[in-house]
Structure 1
Amino acid sequence: MTASQDIRAVPWQAAAQVRAAQKRAVRTLAAAQIVGGVGVGVSVSIGSLLAESVAQSETYAGLARTATTAGAAAVGVPLALLAQRRGRRSSLSAGWLAAALGGVLLVGSAVSRSIPLLVVGMLVFGIGNATNQQSRHAAADLAAPHRRAQALSIVVWSTTIGSVIGPNLADPGAGVASALHLPRLAGAFVLATVCMALASVLLWVWLRPDPLLLARQHQDADKQPESGSSSRAAQVEATKEAGQSQTGTLRAGLRHLRHAPRAAFAFVTIVVAHTVMGAIMTMTPVSMSEDGANLTIVGVTISGHLLGMYALSPIVGWLADRIGHLPTAVAGQAIFIASALLSGLSHGSVGMVMAGLFLLGLGWSFSLVAGSAMLSEATPAALRPGVQGTTDTAMNVVAAVGAGLAGPLMGWIGFGGLNAVAAAFVLPVIAFWIFLCRRPV
């Protein structure tokens, strides 16, 4: 083996410069997730209260979640296309800055009691959700193949802190509102706006070098032919592919999903997991209240669910890198089925519902972490942002539809029946897995 061949055998991610850039990127992304995630956490709990206060009607309380989900779904692909053209640094910092602008609009709606301003503000504020979700992909751009899931999971884990702090900003926000002579609920969104703007600044200043652009440079260098007439043809072909990747990224990404089974499996796994989680999580508090559980017990149950979603993600990432992304994603489906059995057969047992909802969050973590790492692994760098943005948009849209249908479905077949339907949703993922196992290598 020649020296040049020996060098080529070492993956480019192992270079000292790349390893240093990866560590810096993960630290920066995690810090931005913590700070920006506080703003996202505010929308989960206080957004509905603000909507009810502005509109003076309980009917509008659900408007906050619907509008923020719609905002996240609408910008998933545009943010990905911006990353494709300008890199992760521009895309993510712009996303958090836009979400901060949404916070300003929401403060304005609280002052003016304007419902149209409230709706627009919630839509723009929802960009923070999309930015939060796409940040995990940036952690995998420079990661070594055997550490991709673990790097991604650290950024997912960072969301835990924001999701815990954000919903508890009502009282500190009231103090801020009093000092600024604003309506009481507006204060929390002042703090959320500051946090999201700070996340934007952190990424713009510290996410250097840009992980996606650096990864693309190394992968392009690996594709450079060495010499000869055949190298000229290869250069022409590489230039043609690069041009196609820069224009029509979304179309090229969709074509990639149709022709790359492993990427398609990751796409289906992520979308199904987010849909199952959203539908059951939405209706569990309703079912518990109907069975006589008080708000404290409901709150503890939801906290356990969030623990399953985020807190254990580094362990899930380590496991995915150790045993493989595909087996870990399939294990997530088994956890979903166990969750559905516990919750669906609980018959009012608080302990069983708590355990079921914890497993629901854990199944989501297994599916999202392993699926996202697998999607990154199975997609060329030139197409990666478009495919990832399409996946995030799809998971938000389908999950929103699933959450909307969960209520009528539970009214028709009960909470047990809803869990049975959720369990059935994982069957296509398992069937896809069997297809991949039988497919010739």
Structure 2
Amino acid sequence: MTSAVAVRSAVQVRTVRLLMVVEVVSGLGVAMGISVGALLTRAMAGTALSGAAQSAAVVGGGVLAVPAAALMSRYGRRPGLALCYLTGAVGGVAVLASALLDSIPLLFVGFFLFGAGSTAKLQSRYAATDLAEPHRRGRQLSLVVWSTTLGAVIGPNLASPLGGTLSRFGIPELAGPFAFAAASFLLSALLLTVFLRPDPLLTAQALPAQTLAATDPAPAAVADGAQRQTLGSAARAVLASPAARLGMAAMALGHLVMVAVMAMTPVHIGETHSAPDTLRIVGFVLSVHVAGMYGLSPVVGWLTDRAGRVPVILGGVALLIAACAVAAAAGHDTALLTAALLMLGLGWSGTMVAGSTLFTESLPAAVKARAQGLSDLVTGLSGASAGVLSGIVVELSGYAVLALLAALTTIPLIALALRPSTLAAVKVAD
């Protein structure tokens, strides 16, 4: 048993370090896409559809999470994550081609595929928990989330100069960043393919059951690694667990609020600034937002392990509500919009880190990979709905109304988190 525990620890350390490096690289691509996606769509298809660009990427990421999770459940994390990054790279090239060809259908196909890059990033946080000890799950997961910070903060600020670099070759300034995003995804896929060995999920499945039980006493976490489960059985396992339902709801509704406000902020800023100034301001504001999402995630992970999952989820919700209130009152004040987007990122971090930790530890090992794909699908569809509706709301009623409506969507999550049956289930899981 001692030997198996040592193997588990060594593979976990190696896995987390590699995932952190890959998150830095891929964060550049995702952040550049986020910063210019809505602006490119507005230029090609109008304001009402500008939020649909983000939605197409989120839907693509969510839909592709299901087959990716099935692949990982059978063959391990490495092929699933690498394939997602390769698909995201194809999407980046398609977005670039759509701008050159002035093709709106190709634009949305490109964004749909581009979303696979975000799928890989989200699934990576689960890979960090495959072999993590129970009392360190939140921190291990948050380290991978945190490592996104460098690439994601730099990415939006690179969008303008990189777009300008390629414009001399006839490539539209708002489309150029997607070429570099595709390159970052290709490099991420290569790193995972070469270095993610041994595979953490396959290693966890291969370890003796008594070794897992010695470090994770929760019966739900010990299962026969050879048992193959379907998406339906994973869904039933989630529905049967109040703690898992809360974890999924925290991720989905937190992501919904974040996407709704974040997706329309570049469009809101662009209403009063020229194109070059818009890219510069949007790059700064979104960099601060992304720093809020990822920069303090180790602290959020530590709080998740020390204070508990539910308090951190509720703290994240409070920050999301405050962010929406400030955004609604900001008008076109860049300083206030920056503060709102910072709080929005911090609130998302609380719901995502604590929600992911609670979700993954509340399910049997045999269904975890497929259930994680299901959770990312639900989270993606929630964000996609927000992205589609956000452009319509801004077109009809304005940015302030959008922010206030986003805040109201947190009410069901608060109610679920405070239900006595949910609190009792979470206490048992802890």
- Equivalences, count: 412
- Report whether the alignment pairs 1:252 with 2:233: yes
AA matched with 1:21: V
Cα separation, 2, equivalents of 1:52 and 1:344: 22
Q: 1:176 to 1:341 in 2, by over 3 A?
A: closer
Q: 1:72 to 1:85 in 2, by over 3 A?
A: same
Contact 1:173-1:191 within 8 A present in 2 as well: no
The Cα of 1:291 is off from its aligned counterpart by: 8.7
Contact 1:173-1:190 within 8 A present in 2 as well: no
Q: 1:123 to 1:424 in 2, by over 3 A?
A: closer
Match of 2:23 among 33, 38, 41: 33
AA matched with 1:29: L
- Report whether the alignment pairs 1:93 with 2:43: no
Match of 1:154 in 2: 143
Q: 1:182 to 1:220 in 2, by over 3 A?
A: farther
- Report whether the alignment pairs 1:330 with 2:314: yes
| Residues 269-418 of structure 1 aligned to structure 2 (within 5 Å) | 269-285=250-266, 295=278, 299-345=283-329, 351-409=335-393, 417-418=401-402
AA matched with 2:161: D
Contact 2:312-2:354 within 8 A present in 1 as well: yes
SS of 1:143's equivalent in the other structure is: coil
Cα separation, 2, equivalents of 1:414 and 1:45: 20
Match of 2:12 among 22, 27, 51: 22
AA matched with 2:263: T
Percent sequence identity over matched residues? Answer: 38
- Report whether the alignment pairs 1:166 with 2:155: yes
Larger Rg: 1
Q: 1:162 to 1:298 in 2, by over 3 A?
A: closer
Contact 2:66-2:377 within 8 A present in 1 as well: yes
AA matched with 1:365: S
CA-to-aligned-CA distance 1:304-335 (integer Å, 9 cap, x gap) = 32221111111111111122222211221222
CA-to-aligned-CA distance 1:373-431 (integer Å, 9 cap, x gap) = 11111112211111111111111111221232234445666655544433332222222
Higher relative contact order (Cα pairs below 8 Å, separated by 6+ residues) = 2
Cα separation, 2, equivalents of 1:348 and 1:105: 33
AA matched with 1:160: T
Match of 1:231 in 2: none
SS of 2:377's equivalent in the other structure is: helix
Cα separation, 2, equivalents of 1:150 and 1:253: 25
Match of 1:217 in 2: 206
The Cα of 1:131 is off from its aligned counterpart by: 1.3
The Cα of 1:363 is off from its aligned counterpart by: 0.8
Cα separation, 2, equivalents of 1:344 and 1:256: 39
Task: Give the unaligned 5+ runs of structure 1.
Answer: 1-6, 225-237
Contact 1:42-1:166 within 8 A present in 2 as well: yes
RMSD of aligned alpha carbons: 3.4
The Cα of 1:355 is off from its aligned counterpart by: 2.9
Match of 1:183 among 143, 155, 171: 171
SS of 1:140's equivalent in the other structure is: coil
Q: 1:409 to 1:164 in 2, by over 3 A?
A: same
Cα separation, 2, equivalents of 1:323 and 1:172: 43
Comparing 369-378 with 318-327, greater Cα deviation is found at 318-327
SS of 1:383's equivalent in the other structure is: helix
Contact 2:57-2:114 within 8 A present in 1 as well: yes
When normalised by structure 2's length, the TM-score is: 0.83
Q: 1:219 to 1:174 in 2, by over 3 A?
A: farther
Q: 1:221 to 1:438 in 2, by over 3 A?
A: closer
Contact 2:51-2:389 within 8 A present in 1 as well: no
The Cα of 1:59 is off from its aligned counterpart by: 7.8
Q: 1:50 to 1:256 in 2, by over 3 A?
A: same
- Report whether the alignment pairs 1:437 with 2:423: yes
AA matched with 1:131: A
SS of 1:278's equivalent in the other structure is: helix
The Cα of 1:38 is off from its aligned counterpart by: 1.9
Cα separation, 2, equivalents of 1:34 and 1:71: 22
The Cα of 1:218 is off from its aligned counterpart by: 2.6
- Report whether the alignment pairs 1:192 with 2:173: no
Contact 2:38-2:267 within 8 A present in 1 as well: no
SS of 1:126's equivalent in the other structure is: helix
Contact 1:212-1:381 within 8 A present in 2 as well: no
Contact 2:254-2:348 within 8 A present in 1 as well: yes
Match of 1:122 in 2: 111
CA-to-aligned-CA distance 1:212-263 (integer Å, 9 cap, x gap) = 1112223645589xxxxxxxxxxxxx77x954xx242x10111011111101
SS of 1:208's equivalent in the other structure is: coil
Cα separation, 1, equivalents of 2:59 and 2:256: 15
AA matched with 1:278: V
Contact 1:174-1:188 within 8 A present in 2 as well: no
When normalised by structure 1's length, the TM-score is: 0.81
- Report whether the alignment pairs 1:77 with 2:61: no
Match of 1:144 in 2: 133
AA matched with 2:81: L
AA matched with 1:19: S
Comparing 303-312 with 21-30, greater Cα deviation is found at 303-312
Comparing 210-219 with 77-86, greater Cα deviation is found at 210-219
